[in-house]
Structures are given as structure tokens and as C-alpha cells.
Amino acid sequence: MSESHVIQHDDVRIIRALQIAPRASFASIAAALGLTEGAVNRRYRRLLADGVIRVIGVVNPGALGQSRWLVRLRCRPGSVGAIAGALAKRDDVNWVALGAAGSEVTCATQSRDQAQREELLGQRLPRTAAVLDINAFAMLRQFMGGRGHYWAALHGALSPKQEAMLGSDGPPFTESPVVTDAAVHLTAEDEKILDALAADGRASLVTLATAADSTPGRVSRRLRFLLKERVVHLDVEIAPAALGYHARANLWLRVHPSEVKNVGRSLAREPEIAFAAAISGPYNVHAVAHCRDLDELFEFTSDRIGALPGLQSMEVSPVLRHVKQAGTLLSGDRLIGPTIQA
């Protein structure tokens, strides 16, 4: 990142505080970190303006009874940019990356209903002339993602006492089935709340109430319900380069069936792993790794991932460029999105 994006020690502490309690007030964060409220406010807004972080509400379609899919597209040379850009514009695609020397696009779908998913996977992509091959994998069990993501660079940023002072805005992500047994039915009011949180996960109750044509008290109750039922989680999206991570890769693991759970749980404990899930298909575990450079990626995958019991083979596919992550578009190394009012 350019000099304007270089972050300081207190910025890292603020990012960690937001991971713990994404909607905590600046006053609460300042009290826990020993800073002034004004300093926290200024640093947060600078991180936001520089595209280093975004606090957003991410909907979990599994709580609504819908499955999630990973898709690998092999494309004609010169076509990946246009295909990736078109996918990134879709609301039902929340993660898009270019890899394989510019001939592959990997994306994750977040379709809210079956018709939307079938339109993308069964009709639109197969009819795209520049797409040479499509492989789609259903997510079977998620081991890591959302607020459970603990960047290695944030380790030890706050003391246990400081983290306890911040409390929590809801339970962090834990291992869970991708699709819940009892789907939650969303009201029109809920949909408006979720739309507002997607733009700004720190939007005030007054702002959310205005967006939902409701009252702050009712919105507060609905938000607690949506968080409790894991319909939405509040995520702190981070531009990897801001924390010094310049090598990212998709890891496709073939694991003995009896060890899939253990491997998934082991991956979830690795601070370099941003996401891990059991999937259908020839590779039964998928993960996303963030490392500082390719040498660190090599050491990490060969020494720590390669030594996992039950691992039979692994494909390491470096990401050339992220186009979208957790619903947030990227421009180079910057997160871009709507203007956010804290």
C-alpha cells in the first residue's frame, strides 16, 4: 500500500477492538485502549477513508435455508477480467478472485433462494462463451469465517483485560452446519435492516430505524434476534496489504474422509487461515490463506498444512487479484464501498 495506507500500532489495536465488538461506541473503545474518544474517531475514519477496513453486516443464507457454493471457472485468455467484474456486480456473489496466471476465476455464491442460484450456475455461466469449464462445490460444513477470523498481525494487540472490557456484540463464529434445520423467515423490516447493515455495520439504531421505517427500540430487538439466530454477523473486512499480507492463496485439500473434521478444525486455529470449509467434490476441504510473501506461504503450506494427519494431496493456487471479498469490492489493495457514517 502507499504511504497514506500505512497503519500505526494504535490502528491495529482499534481494528482488533472492532473485531471483538464491531458496534462498540468510540467512547467504549477509547476507555478500553487508554486513548481519547476523539483519537479513536479520527483513526477509525482514516482507516475507512483509506480503504483499510469496513465494518459490514454479512447475511448467512444458511440460516434462511439456502446452501452456499464455491465455483471455479476456467476461462479463455483475456476474458477473466470481464467475467470477474460481472460476477462481482451480483448481489448473490460475495467473493471473487483471479488466479492460475489469469486464466481462472474463483467465486462464492450467497444466493438467497434456489431460483437465483440456478439462474447463475445452471443458466448464465454455462452460456457464457468465454467460460471453458465450470466446477461447482457445495459447502458442507464451515469451520472458519466471519468474526472468527483472527489475523496473525492482531495477535496480542490487546490484553485479555482490554478484550474483556469491550464485551461482545454477539457470539463469534464457531463451527456449524452450512444450512440450518429451521430456516428463519425474514420480514420486510428485517430485509431493510440487513440492507442498511450491509452498507454500514456500525449504523446507529436511529439510522437503522429510519431505513426500516421503524423505531429504534424495535430495530434493537430485531437486530439482537438476527444476530442470535446467525442470520447476519458483523464482520470487520480488512485490506490484507495494510497488515503486510501480500501473498494470498486458495488451498484445495484432499483429505481422508475420517480426518476431514479434524483438518478443518486445525485450519480454523491457524491465524493465516481466513476461511475454511468442507466441500463436495474431489477436493473435500477448501481454505483461504493470507501470508506476508510467497516464501512464507511455502513454509506455511509445506510445514504446517502439509503435516496435518489425513492430508492426501493439496493444490496451492495463489490469488493474483481479489475483486470482491465478503460483499466488498476492491480496487487494487483498497476496500471500496459507500460512504459510511459511524
> Quick one: three-class SS letters along 8-40?
CHHHHHHHHHHHHCCCCCHHHHHHHHCCCHHHH
CA distances, 96 to each of 191, 275, 318, 322 (Å): 24, 14, 13, 6
CA distances, 192 to each of 115, 182, 232 (Å): 21, 22, 13
Helix (H) or strand (E) holding 150: none
pLDDT value of position 323: 92
**Residue 278 near residue 268, CB atoms below 8 Å:** no
CATH 3.30.70.920 fits 144-148+245-320, yes or no: yes
Mean pLDDT, range 247-276, rounded to an integer: 93
Written as nine digits, the cell of 139 is 459447502
Widest Cα–Cα separation across the chain: 57
pLDDT value of position 148: 47
**Residue 230 near residue 176, CB atoms below 8 Å:** yes
Question: What is the 8-class DSSP label of residue 301?
Answer: I
d(CA 298, CA 287): 15
pLDDT value of position 92: 87
Lowest mean pLDDT among 3-17, 34-48, 144-158: 144-158
**Residue 154 near residue 15, CB atoms below 8 Å:** yes
Query: Given a cut of 80, is residue 280 above it in pLDDT?
Result: yes
Question: Can you give the pTM of this predicted structure?
Answer: 0.85
Closest CA to 110 of 171, 63, 177: 63
Confidence of residue 205 (pLDDT cuts 50, 70, 90): very high
Query: Given a cut of 60, is residue 338 above it in pLDDT?
Result: no
Question: What is the 8-class DSSP label of residue 119?
Answer: I
Closest CA to 67 of 171, 146, 183: 183
Q: Cβ–Cβ contacts within 10 Å for residue 164, how many?
A: 12
Mean residue pLDDT of the chain comes to: 88
d(CA 80, CA 86): 10
pLDDT tens for 62-99 read 888 888 899 999 998 889 889 999 999 888 898 999 98
Question: What is the 8-class DSSP label of residue 304?
Answer: I
pLDDT tens for 291-314 read 999 999 999 999 999 999 999 999
**Residue 270 near residue 304, CB atoms below 8 Å:** yes
pLDDT tens for 113-139 read 778 788 888 888 888 889 999 999 999
